[in-house]
Every structure is written in C-alpha cells, then in structure tokens.
Structure 1
C-alpha cells in the first residue's frame, strides 16, 4: 500500500515540492534572454547556495530540453523549413535594386565630407592666421614695452647727479647746487629727506625697471629691434651700476640706514648681490683687516703667525663697524636674505689677509701653533654664525664656497700624521731599549717604558693635541699604543722562554738580560696600567667623545629626520613597513664585532660588554632624536589645527574634526613605531633583548598614541 501511494504522480501545483516537469525555484530560464545576461556572474551567484554538481546537472537538463524543443519545432513546421530555400527567388535582382540608392547615398556623403574637409582646412588656416597675428601682436607689444622701459630708465638715469663727487656730501643744500638734466631740481626740502636717501630711492626704482627690462628681453633677444637697442641697454646698465655703487659707498660711509636699505633692494632687484658684497668688502672690511693683519708690498711682517689676538680684534671691528649693515640685511621680511656679507665680504677678506699676511698660520709643520690657530678659527666661525637669525641661514653660510675654502686651508690629516709620528715615536724609542730602566719618583708605575706609555696615552687627549673632528683617529692611536706595549711584553716573554738572543731585532733582549726580580716591576706596572686605563683614563676619553659634534654621533640615525618631510602636508597613506635606514643603524657595530681582529683578540665576554654598552648608547640617542621629532610634530599639528579651526570659524563652517581623518603626526608616529620594532628585531639578532634596555621601552611609549 505504501508503494502504491508513493508511486502516485504528484500534482503540478504541489506546494511542498518542485513540479515533475518543471525546474527548481532557483533556476530561472527567462534570465538567459535578458540583454544584460552574464554567464560568469550568473554561475558565481548561484554557486553561493547551489552545489556545483547540481547546477551542472540542471543546466545539462535544460540544454537537453531545448534540443528536444528545437527538433519538435523543425518536425512540426518541416514543410515550411524545406520550402525556405525555394522562396529565395531573384535575390540578385533585389540586390541590384537596393544597391542603386546606396551608391547614390555614398556619393552624397563623399560630397558632404569633401565640403566639410574644405571648411575644416579653411578654419584651421584662419585659426593659424589668428594665432600668428596674436603672436605678432604680443611681440609688438613686447617691443613697445621694451622701448618704453628703456626710455624710462634713461630718463630716470638723467635725474641722477652727473658728477660722482656729488655723492661725497649728503647735505640738503646740495639740492640747490644740482640741477636735473631735464631742467628741474630735486625738492628735498619738501620731501623731508636728504639727497642720499632720495637718490637711493630713485636708484631702487631704476633697478626695478631694469629687472622688468630683463624680463622683456629674455624671450626676444634674437630680434633685430632688440639687437639695435643693445647698446642703449648696456649703457643704462653700466650707468646704473656706477651710480648705485657710488650711492652705496656714500651710504656706508655715513651709515645712512635708509639709503643702504634702498641700495640693497636695488642690488637684489637686478640680481647683483655680489657687487654689493664686494663693495662692502673693499670699502669697509678690507681697511679694517689691513690694520689688524697687514699684507701687501708695503706691509711690515710681524714675525708671528698666531691668530688668536687677531680674531679678537676682528670680532670687535665687526661688532663696531659692520653690525649695522648685518642688521639691515637680516631684517625680517625685507627681501635682503639673498645677501651674505658675513661669508662673501668679511670671511673672504679675513681668509685673503691670512693667506697673504700670515701664510704660516695654515702650516701644520708646527703642530701646537697650528692647532691653536685652528681652534681660534673655529671659534671665529662660530662667532660669525651667531649673527644669523635662523638655522637655515647658518646652513646657507656653511654652504658658501668661501666657507668651504676656509675650512680646506686647515689640513687636519697632515696634522694628525705629525702627531702620530711624535706620540708613537716617543713610545717606540723607549720600547727599543735593550734593558729595563726603573725610574724614581715616576708615580704609580716604575719602568721607563710604562711611564712613556702613560705619557703617550695622555698626550692623545690633551687639549693642545686633540682635534674632536678626528677623535676616531686619536682613539685608534691610543689602542695602537696599548697594542705596541702589549707586543713588547709578548716578544720579551717569548724570547725569555726560548733563551734566544741571537737576533738583536727580536725586541726581547730586555727580557733575556733581566733578572727574576726585574719582573716584579713588570707585574706591578701591568696592574697599575690596567687600573689607570680602565678607570680615570677611560672615563676621560668617554667624556671627550660624548662632546663630539652631533652630526658625528648621529651619522647612522641622520635619515630619521626625513620622516617628517615624508608625511607632513602630503597625502601619503598610513605606513605599513619600516624605513630603509633602520638596517644601517646597527650595521657598523655588527661589522666591528664580527671582524677578523675582534674575533682574534677579543674574548666573548669583552665582545658582549662592548655590544651591550654600544646598544644602550645607540638606543638612548635614538630615543632622544625620536622624542624630539615627535614633540615637534605634535606641536606643529596643534598649531595647524588651531589655524584650520580659526579659518573654519571665520568662514562659518563647522570646526569639528572628522574621526575618519588621519593626522600627519599619527602617520609619523606609526612610521617611527614600525622602525623601532624593526630595530628591536635587529637587536635580537645580535643577541640583545630590547626589552631589557630602558631607552627602547621609552621609545615605544613615545610613539604610541591614539589616532588623531
């Protein structure tokens, strides 16, 4: 009975199952007829809830049904299908009838195309003529403007005094003596300014016109009209330079701030700053320096190359006779920042005077005097840099060619070579002695060789010997001195053991000749030397090294400062990887510890101690630089945010900051965080746990902040 029930056909309208002759509800054949049907998207959409095998089976079933339906249609209308070929009668004649209007239409289209192309050519020719006419008009207007400017410059130049001696006096009564070439006189009484200031204002105006003239001439230099005016332009330029030079010199002599200011603006307008700097050098600076450091055919040699007192007098002269001009050129928003009188006037003249008057000051042949002059020169440069109002101005000063030339005069490499020979030679002369030589009242050590070692080690770091910029070389020299002393002991002990005195150059004769009691001196001196070198001496050296210029200490971390420029006011996305500079931070330390010498002469304990100490020092410096960078970034971000909010309030807009915005400071901190994490991984590869370094923990804490 159950089988009979199950065998009963289901109704086509069965609500609980698909019809026997139908498709599943998810299969809709009518979608295949849609003009926007896409098979790939259709299958991808169905596969999210229909198994692939089921979908394939249903499509195959539907294809089979379509084939059957097609066959049924052909069988049903077979007669019409067969007669289809017999009804296609006189097709060629129909084609001929349709071809005639199509050919006619093509001819009309070709005629219309020809007329359109002709009109287009005519239009292009017209546009070209119009463009040529506009270009010719621009050139004509440019030539007319050039002519008017040249005429205006010549007219203004005629209003200047014709006699150079007129510049020697700036009194107002000269207005009555000097008549303008156009028949008018300067009305100084009405303007309330003196002749010098009035002329400087006129020169500034002429310079402005000359600058405009250069702008006009630049694109039309090869035109005949401009070539014909070349002599007039050159004449005007020469007259302007001469008049401007006279006025500037007169302003310097009388310290007329307004006249000097106007003259400097004129020089800046015509892009001739070098002339102003050279005039100031030859007119004001050179006479002052000549009195301090006489040079030239008539100069009397002083016989001393010491520069300390000379620099002291030069500083006083700068403050007394040059400061007024420096203050004018450094005035904020004056546009006079293009001048560098400190480099191209003062430093240039000082360098020239030393080269001619005291050339021996640059000679490292007398190391003590050379170092004293070198340090005095660095102090003088620092004094000059003190006049600049900003760090960017100091950087510009250091980039000047004369600054570079001044630094090149001090050959520190030769100086170190001479000191090396002096210090190392003093130790070597004692170590070649054939016997031990005790010294009375020598302090803690007793042997002459040990005393020489201590003296040489201390000499490397004396104020009258050390050059901080070459501190690495002096540190290497100190280690070499210790190495030579160690080799002296090793060779002596080896000779003593072998009792071989056949070679006089073995370096161990002292040990062969020594009696057993002499080795008491050796043991005593070694203990004293170890205590001294590892104690006060080491602390003194570390203190001096810590005072090295920051650019030496931060050599591997210098690129850290570039992170701010990368993300400040840019649309760069949030960083996802560390910066390339991180890999180079620990590379020198790793190369040093894995080098052949370290592997040969340093024990594991010593290398571990060096690694720990260096890692802590580098991490501490890393923290200082990163903390400073983050602090500046946050302050800048705060200032910019206040400016934006103020602008939004003035514009009537909302001042709320969207939570979706990511600040530049956040990006900077994220980049630093990625860099610090990579730095920590590099420390682990060297065998150091970064979490054990307090500065590393401070680093991570410094750059951790919420999205703002």
Structure 2
C-alpha cells in the first residue's frame, strides 16, 4: 500500500519498472515540481529504504551468525564431489591426444596423396604431350604424303619429324594444293584442321608445363610443327581462295584460329587477293598518266582508289561477305585492316608518297576526301556495328590515318583564312567592300550586303571554313573554333578602336577644360584633331590603333553598324544551318553546342555595334555643342543692350539638334533598324542635354556673381542710396527657360521624349522659374 504521507506526484513504484528512465522522469516532474522539492523527497525516500534494509537484515541476523556452526564436514563433501570430475577430465585429455595424433597422420597422408597426385598429373601431362607430339608428327607426315602424291616434288615422306617437314613445306606444295579437286581440297583442309587442333593442344600443354625440363626440350619440336602446319595452311588457303570453296575456306580459317595465327591468314589473303588488284590499279594509272609531281599526285589518288575499290569489290567481295557474316571468323581475323588496307597503304607509300603531304592544301584536301571515301567503302563490307568499331580501332587503320598530317593542313588553312582577315583590317582608312556575287561558293543563299572590306573579309573567312574544298569532317572542331575566332577578332577590332576613340575624346575634353578654366568641352574640330593625335601616339607606342576611327564619319560608322546587323542575320539565318549540315554526322548535341556558341558570338557582335552607335552619337553631340555654345551670347545680349523681358526662345535653339536631324535623313541612317535609330536619337538628346546642363549652370553662376558685384559697386558710388539696377539675371534665366522648352520640343520632333531623360530633368530644374517649380515638364 502506498504511503499516504508521500505527495501524489511522487510514485516510488515507478522506479522498479524495467523501462524507467531517470532523465525522462526528472524532466517530466520539473515542469510542475521545483527541483529542490524533488531532491528532498528523493533523499527522504532513500533514507526510508536504508532503514527498511536494516530492518530486513536484523530480522534474520541470528540465523546468519549461527550458519557457520551448523555446517559440518564441508571439505569432505567437496572432495567427494571433485573426484568424479577429475576422472572425467583424465578421460577427456586422453581422448584428445588420440584424436590429435590421428588428425596429424591424416594430414600427412593427405599431403603425400596430393604430392603423388601432382606428380601423376605432371607425368600424365608429359605422356599426353609426347603422345600428341607423335600424333602431330604422324598427321604432318600424312599431309606431306598427300601433297607428294599430287605433285612431282612433294613434301617430306610420312613418318618424318615436324622439323623436317617444316624445311620442305615450301617446295612444290603450292602447286600440289592448287591442283587438287574441290573435294580433295576440302578433305585436305579438314586434315589440316585436325592437325591444328592437335597443335593447339600441344601449345596448351607447353604453356601448362612451362617449368618442366621435358617441355623446354620439346618446345623446338612444337614450334617446328606449328611452322610446318602454318606453311601447309598458307598453301591450302591460297588454293581455297582461288577455288572459292566456302566449306574449305571456313575449315581452313578455323585451323588458323586454333593455332592463334590470324596474321598469317591475313598475309595470305593480302598476297593472293589484294596485292594483284592493287598492282593492276597502280600499273593502269602509270600507263594513263605520270604519277610524279605534286600537281599530278593530287587528282590521281581518287582515280587510283576508285580503281582499287572496283577491283576489290570484284575480287574480294565474296570472300569478305563469307568471312564477315560468321561471328567466330569476324572476331578472330582483321581482313579489312590487316589485308586490304595494309596492302593499299603500302602501295601508296611506295608509288604515291606525295599524296600524304599537306604542302599543297588543295591537293591534300582532295586526297584526304578520296581516302575517307575509300575507308567508308571498306566499312561498307561490315555487317555489324561491332565490326565497324573493330576496323576503326585496328592497327592498320591507325597507321593509315597517322600518315595524313591534318595539323599541318589546318595550320596552312588557318594562316590563309586568318591572314586574309588581318590584311583587311585597316589602320588608317576604311576600304569599301568589293561587289559581292549573287550566291555563295557553297551553293547557299546570297551573301549579306556589306559595305566595308573587313566585314566582307569576315564573311568570306566564315564561308571558307565550311567550303567544300576546305572543310574536313575530321577537323570539324578546329574549323568551328576558327570561325568563332574570326568573329571574335572582328568584334575586338571594332571594340578596340572605339575605346581608343573614346579615350582620345576624353583626353581632348580634359585639355579643353583646362585651357578654358572649367568651360565647356572642345568643339568637334578640336576633338577630331586631338583624337587623331592620340591615335598616332598610341600607334607610335606599339598599340594597335591606326587612326581610321578618328577620321571615320558618322555615316561610315553607321554603315559599319549595318554590316554587323547583316553579319548577325547571316549567321543565324544562313551560316549556322550550313554549318549544322556539315556537322550532320557529329550528333544533335554537338549541333546544339555549335549553335549556342555562334549565338554568343552574335551577341558579342551586337556589343560592338552598340559601341559604334555610341561613337556616332558622340560625334553628333560634338557637332550639336558647336551650336549650343551660342548660349553664352545671351549674357552679352542682355548686358550690352536694353531689351524687354524675353517671350520667345533664342534663334540658335532650333539648330541644336540639326546634326541629328540631318544624319537621320541620310541613306546610311535610313538603312538602320528602327530600334537603332531610336537608340541613336535618345543617346544624342541625352548627351546634348548633359552638355546643355553644364553650360547653363556655368552661365547662371557667372551671371549671379557678376550681377551681385555690379550692384555692390553701384551702391558704393551712390553713397549707399543708388537705385535698383535692372534684374538682368532673372531675364537671362527666363531666356534660358524658354530655350530649354524649345530644346525639348526639338527633341520631341526627333522622336525623343526629353521629359524622360535624366539630363533634361536636371536642366529643367535648373532654369525653371520659382512660380512654376512644382509644375510638370511641358514643352
């Protein structure tokens, strides 16, 4: 029963639960029980438990004390209990010793048995090897005897050793095999296949017992047998190729594969089928035209390889169709590379070594395309994609492609194409582009209309990168990179000269400001002179500047901007589709990457176009500032004459934006896009507004200081009681306000809302009368 003195929240029975967690118990109680109270209750409970423990011990203490007096003969009882345990331990140790001895004897027996088995296996291996060696010698003797029966000068007699057979293989055996009937040839090939299987066993046994002295002594005989068998197989394969027996061919190739000598079969096919075809084609070309000289070697390679392809198709097509249609044969042999391509490669190196030279790029291009077409023709014999990949990765294909020095060819093309562009990038004056043909050399759409020679050179370079007589699929990535470099060079050429023009303009403006003590920037003529001088100084310092940007008129710069627009349009509408067609075999992912790269190049060109239009705007602003400087005449007019309060704008204001209006009427500006024209007008209006703000602020500041000084001087002369002088500063400010309003109207006629320009807003706040300061800008 629970203690009634304990609080309701304290339940000691929870301490005895298996899942009791002290930390969780304390965390739960401390939410509504102070820790001091909980600690007090726990200590009280602990004391109660100790007291209860003492009571329990005291209840049975008397029996505990008398326990030792009641126990009698404890040692005797322990001895009686220990005796059977010791006897059992002795029996277990004795049994363990017997088992360990038996296990040792068993392990020794197993080791002796394994040694005997190994020795027996070696003995059986040597016996089998000797038996197979004797069988091979006997079979080779039968092969030699069958050959001797079919030719007057046959091979070695039956029963001779394999080494002796190897020495007499080449004497008359070829004619003997060639004279056999198809059935006899097939039987001979089956016999050779049987010998090949036994020779294969010999080779396996020799590799397995490589450490045996018996095998080392027998190895020369095994090698001689393999050489003799290969000789017989070479003769049989040559005869089989002439008779075109598919059964005999399959059996013969199986024998080659069994002895792991596919290269020997490839050499026989090369000498029997391929070499005569290639030699006839070469001889025909030598008879038709001389093969010497770089000019003659170029166009003849296509004819030579065409003749070779026709001959191989007529002579080797049945053989290749048969061998490549069988999976086992096609995996073991490489007739396309080791026989066909290797023989053609060797013949070209011997008779036409100049075809691989890249010294004449046009000839190299034609030769390489002819070689590529020839390789594609060879790949056409393959029946599976795995065979195509195996042929492309063969040693013969690697050696053949290595002979074509593609890096040198691209280097020559790069120098030609890039050099043509560099030669057209002017240093002093822009040269107009020559008349463009009606259509491109690639058979595509008409070339874009271009005004200047550098732009035409860029487009011509781009076209040459994908021209049919320049582009090579194997160099697709390099030609794409070259095209992108041409565009980047063109854009950098424009950006560099526009930066020089801006730096020269800033230098001229700073010089004009120092000379005039903070007055307005220099005029257009002075700006151009300073720009030309800065450009000449940069050129003398080794810079890239040449001075054309300083002498270029706004119309010329606008025409260059039109070239950029035409190039961008031509890139996106015509060039990228043509390039994608050239890259058709590279995959959709490559085409997307190329299109993205050229889109970025077009954006870079757009940035260069923006720099050009900025230069045009700056030039027009300089011309407008020449007119704007007449603003300073307002001060003299009101000071030197007695004029009434102004009510209309000055006459010069209507001419401030005349340079912009005149330029927008030119043919060069008319060909600009509407967006470019609007951007130009806005830039000019903003630039003129900034110059207007500077001049007006300087003029008003000077007028106020002068007017204040005149008033003080007149007051002193009249003893401090002089009359009020005319308030000319207000009249000048009013005239400026009327002029600024008229300037806003002129900007609106040019298509620009001057109220949205920051420079015009500042100008308005500078000249607006106080009673109209809160009114909106109105023209």
Same fold (TM over 0.5): yes
What is the match of residue 305 of structure 1? 297
What residue is the counterpart of 1:475 in the other structure? 483
1:128 to 81, 101, 111: 111
- Is 1:465–2:457 an aligned residue pair? no
Aligned to 2:238: 249
Matches of 1:555 and 1:217, distance apart in 2 = 53
**Post-superposition offset of 1:372:** 1.6
Determine helix, strand or coil for the equivalent of 1:161: helix
Per-residue CA deviation, residues 659-701 of structure 1 (Å, 9 max, x unaligned), is: xxxxxxxxxxxxxxxxxxxxxxxxxxxxxxxxxxxxxxxxxxx
Give the one of 561, 566, 577 matched to 1:531.
566
Structure 1 residue 179: deviation in Å?
12
> Which deviations, in whole Å up to 9, do the C-alpha atoms of 1:143-182 show, x marking residues without a partner?
222222222222211111358787889xxxx9xx999837
Deviations 1:543-565 (A, max 9, x none): 323542655654799xxxxxxxx
Instruction: Tell me, yes or no, if the aligned pair for 2:145 and 2:156 is still in contact at 8 Å.
Output: no
Name the counterpart of 1:704: none
Residue in structure 2 matching 1:111, options 72, 94, 97: 94
> Following TM superposition, by how much is the alpha carbon of 1:476 offset from its aligned partner in structure 2, in angstroms?
2.3
The reply to whether residue 415 of structure 1 matches residue 409 of structure 2 is: yes
Please identify the structure whose Cα radius of gyration is greater: 2
Distance in 1 (CA, whole Å) between partners of 2:43 and 2:551 is 109
Q: Does 1:548 align with 2:592?
A: no
Equivalent residue runs for 1:680-699 within 5 Å = none
Matched, 1:499 2:482: no
Choose the corresponding residue for 2:548, options 511, 515, 519.
511
Give runs of aligned pairs for residues 43-54 of structure 1, distance below 5 A. none
Residues 634-673 of structure 1: matches in 2 within 5 Å?
none
Distance 1:556 1:426, change over 3 A: closer
Deviation at 1:513, TM superposition (A): 9.3
1:382-403 Cα distance to aligned partner (Å, 9 max, x none)? 2221211111121111221222
Aligned residues: 526
Structure 1 unaligned blocks of 5 or more:
1-11, 13-17, 21-26, 33-38, 558-584, 604-708
Aligned pair partner of 2:378 in 384, 389, 394: 384
Summarize deviations over 1:339-387 as a string: whole Å, max 9, x none.
1111111112222222332222222221111122222222222222121
Which residue number in structure 2 is paired with residue 79 of structure 1?
62
Q: Aligned equivalents of 2:61 and 2:500: distance in 1?
A: 123
Asked whether 1:337 is paired with 2:320, we answer no
The one of 226, 231, 248 equivalent to 2:215 is 226
Alpha-carbon distance in structure 2 between the residues aligned to 1:140 and 1:86: 84
User: TM-score with structure 1 length normalisation?
Assistant: 0.62
Report the CA distance shift for 1:485/1:194 in structure 2 as closer, same or farther (over 3 A). Answer: same
Asked whether the equivalents of residues 167 and 246 of structure 1 are also in contact (C-alpha less than 8 Å), the reply is no
- Asked whether the 8 Å contact 1:158–1:181 carries over to 2, the reply is yes
> TM-score by structure 2 length?
0.57
Q: Is the 8 A contact 1:265 1:336 kept in 2?
A: no
Q: Which residue is equivalent to 2:255?
A: 266
CA 1:60/1:278 → structure 2, altered by over 3 Å: closer, same or farther? farther
Would the aligned equivalents of 1:492 and 1:507 in 2 still touch at CA under 8 Å? no
Instruction: Return the alpha-carbon distance in structure 2 between the equivalents of residues 64 and 294 of structure 1.
Output: 122
Cα separation, 2, equivalents of 1:507 and 1:107: 108
CA gap 1:441/1:589 in 2 versus in 1, 3 angstroms: closer
Contact 1:289–1:314 (CA under 8 A) maintained in structure 2? yes
* SS of the residue 1:364 aligns to: coil
Residues 130 and 312 (structure 1 numbering): CA distance in 2 closer, same or farther, change over 3 Å? Answer: same
Displacement of 1:498 after TM fit?
Answer: 0.9
Q: 1:317 to 1:93 in 2, by over 3 A?
A: same
